[in-house]
């Protein structure tokens, strides 16, 4: 069953309703996988997605296919998930691919690049525009393949102890920021720090870093950043969307029964949709709570945004010359983004702008 057929026929729920799980349980072997996450247990939106996938897989296979989920640090640190899956320490891992751009900046296309697509555009490129095939072909060199499993949507720009009014204010700023954004901001004088989620708060509290970005209001509130930084900036231009993936060891995947492969892929696809809906549900209330508690909401200036955009384009050109894999993926991604933006300007953009304007005028 193809992924689009899965959605059309009701997904995992449809499989269970049709009685497929009991038949599968009778004919297939018992399989147990270990899955390590890049995220701490406290973030129910993130690790919770992995837990839900494990439950859906077990339900759809009559408990024959079991996935045991481990949070960051329980097997390996959060930033070592790719290595653990690649070398077979675990069968699968939940992570975001820009953590690994030190291996090759092309890893970013399994997640997001600065000034890239929004969540719907990324899903279109990944599922329909050849993105999945291109990226997973690249991942063959790492003995893995990737399945998107959750997407936060556009993220916030982070927590700052002082206001950032000009491009000059970025110089020397010690900023916890992940992936390609760090390389881009470094061109403007920022000192990027890649720190796993559970370690950000103490670094910000002690002054080891001056600012930090993570996800958005709901997750950021859970990690307590508002207690140690006052200014909350928007938008997170480096994460127009942020898809985490399930990485699967290639040899373990090939050894998995085909029915189990289908169930796993379907559960990831379902989770990828449901997780975005959950973020859209919980973030508005979390934002109101933060502002009521004294958080000062700020927007990056147009000058800062333009300077960052230019730095991003310069960085991509530099990497394109050094890394053929980056050049190949960027060519597909950027061309697809141009087409998507042309369409979104026609309907989505005009509608969203009108509705946002109406909401502002009511206030």
Task: Please give the pLDDT value at position 198.
Answer: 84
Task: Please give the pLDDT value at position 28.
Answer: 86
Distance of CA 122 to the CA centre of its chain: 11
Tokens 């018992």 correspond to 30
Query: Considering the domain boundaries, does residue 92 fall inside one?
Result: yes
Report residue 172 as tokens.
């020397």
pTM of the model: 0.90
Query: Considering the domain boundaries, does residue 246 fall inside one?
Result: yes
User: For 308-315, which contacts have Cβ atoms below 8 Å and span 24 or more sequence positions?
Assistant: 308/114, 308/115, 308/184, 308/185, 308/188, 308/237, 309/115, 309/237, 311/184, 311/185, 311/187, 311/188, 312/113, 312/114, 312/115, 312/180, 312/184, 314/187, 315/180, 315/183, 315/184, 315/187
CA distance 69 to 115: 33
Query: Considering the domain boundaries, does residue 304 fall inside one?
Result: no
Query: What's the Rg (C-alpha) of the chain?
Result: 21
- CATH code where residue 252 lies: 3.40.190.170
Query: Considering the domain boundaries, does residue 294 fall inside one?
Result: no
User: Which residues lie below 8 Å from residue 340, measured CB to CB, with a gap of 6+?
Assistant: 117, 121, 124, 125
pLDDT, tens digit (0-9, with 9 covering 90-100), for 183-218: 999 999 999 998 888 899 999 999 999 999 999 999
Query: Considering the domain boundaries, does residue 58 fall inside one?
Result: yes
CA distance 277 to 94: 19
Q: Within 10 A of 271 (CB to CB), how many other CB atoms are there? A: 27
Task: Please give the pLDDT value at position 23.
Answer: 54
Give residue 128's domain range: 3-153+241-280
Task: Please give the pLDDT value at position 22.
Answer: 52
Query: Considering the domain boundaries, does residue 259 fall inside one?
Result: yes
Query: Considering the domain boundaries, does residue 245 fall inside one?
Result: yes
Query: Considering the domain boundaries, does residue 362 fall inside one?
Result: no
- In the chain (363 residues long), the average pLDDT of successive 10-residue segments reads 45 51 68 97 92 98 98 96 98 97 97 97 98 98 98 98 97 93 97 90 96 97 96 98 97 97 98 97 98 98 98 98 98 98 96 89 68
Total number of domains in the chain: 1
Task: Please give the pLDDT value at position 11.
Answer: 55
């Amino acid at each position: 069953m193809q992924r689009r057929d899965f959605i059309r026929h009701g997904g995992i729920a449809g499989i269970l309703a049709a009685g497929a799980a009991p038949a599968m349980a009778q004919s297939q072997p018992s399989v147990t996988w270990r899955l390590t996450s890049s995220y701490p247990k406290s973030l129910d939106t993130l690790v919770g997605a992995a837990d839900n996938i494990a439950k859906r897989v077990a339900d759809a296979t009559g408990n024959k296919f079991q996935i045991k989920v481990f949070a960051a640090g329980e097997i390996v640190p959060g930033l070592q998930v790719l290595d653990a899956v690649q070398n077979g320490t675990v069968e699968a891992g939940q992570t975001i691919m820009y953590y690994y751009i030190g291996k090759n900046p092309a890893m970013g296309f399994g997640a997001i690049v600065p000034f890239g697509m929004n969540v719907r555009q990324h899903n279109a490129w990944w599922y329909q525009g050849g993105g999945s095939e291109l990226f997973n072909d690249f991942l063959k060199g790492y003995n893995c393949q990737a399945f998107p499993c959750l997407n936060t949507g556009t993220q916030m720009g982070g927590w700052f102890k002082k206001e950032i009014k000009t491009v000059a204010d970025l110089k020397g700023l010690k900023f916890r920021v992940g992936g390609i954004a760090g390389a881009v901001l470094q061109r403007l004088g920022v000192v990027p720090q890649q720190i796993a989620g559970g370690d950000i708060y103490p670094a910000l509290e002690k002054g080891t870093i001056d600012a930090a970005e993570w996800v958005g209001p709901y997750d950021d509130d859970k990690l307590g950043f508002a207690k140690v930084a006052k200014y909350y900036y928007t938008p997170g231009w480096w994460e127009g969307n942020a898809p985490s993936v399930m990485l699967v060891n290639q040899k373990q995947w090939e050894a998995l029964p085909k029915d189990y492969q289908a169930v796993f892929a379907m559960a990831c696809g379902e989770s990828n949709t449901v997780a975005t809906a959950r973020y859209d549900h919980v973030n508005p209330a979390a934002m109101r709570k933060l502002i009521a508690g004294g958080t000062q909401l700020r927007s990056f200036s147009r000058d800062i945004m333009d300077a960052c955009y230019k730095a991003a384009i310069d960085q991509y050109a530099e990497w394109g010359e050094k890394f053929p894999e980056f050049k190949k993926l960027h060519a597909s991604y950027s061309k697809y983004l141009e087409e998507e933006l042309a369409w979104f300007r026609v309907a989505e953009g005009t509608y969203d702008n009108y509705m946002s304007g109406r909401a502002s005028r009511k206030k």
